Structure 1
Amino acid sequence: MKVLVTGSAGQLGRALQTSAPPACEVTAVDRAELDLADAAAVGAFVHGLKPDLLVNAAAYTAVDKAESEEALAHAVNADAVAAMAEALRATGGRLVQVSTDFVFDGSSPRAYRPDDARNPLSAYGRTKAAGEDAAGPDALIVRTAWVHAAGGANFVRTMLRLMAERESLRVVADQIGAPTWAGGLAATIWGLVAKDARGIFHHTDAGTASWYDFAVAIQEEALALGLLARAVPVIPIATADYPTPATRPAFSLLDCSATRAALGDGYTHWRTHLRAMLKEELALG
Structure 2
Amino acid sequence: MRIGQLYRQVRDRFRQSGLATPDLDARVLVSAALNVPVSALVLREDEDIPEGNADRALAYETLRLNGMPVGRILGERDFYGRKFALNAATLEPRPDTETLVDAVLARVDPQEAGVMCDIGTGSGAIAVTLLAERPGYRMIAVDLSEEALQCALGNAALHDVEDRFNPVCADYTSCLGAGLDWVVSNPPYIRSSVLAGLDREVNQHDPLLALDGGDSGLEAYLRIVADAAVLLRPGGGIALEIGYDQADYLKKQLRHHGFVAIEIIKDLSGNDRVALARKP
| Structure (1 or 2) with the larger CA radius of gyration | 2
Higher relative contact order (CA 8 A, sep 6+): 1
Same topology, TM > 0.5: no
Give TM-score scaled by structure 2 length.
0.34
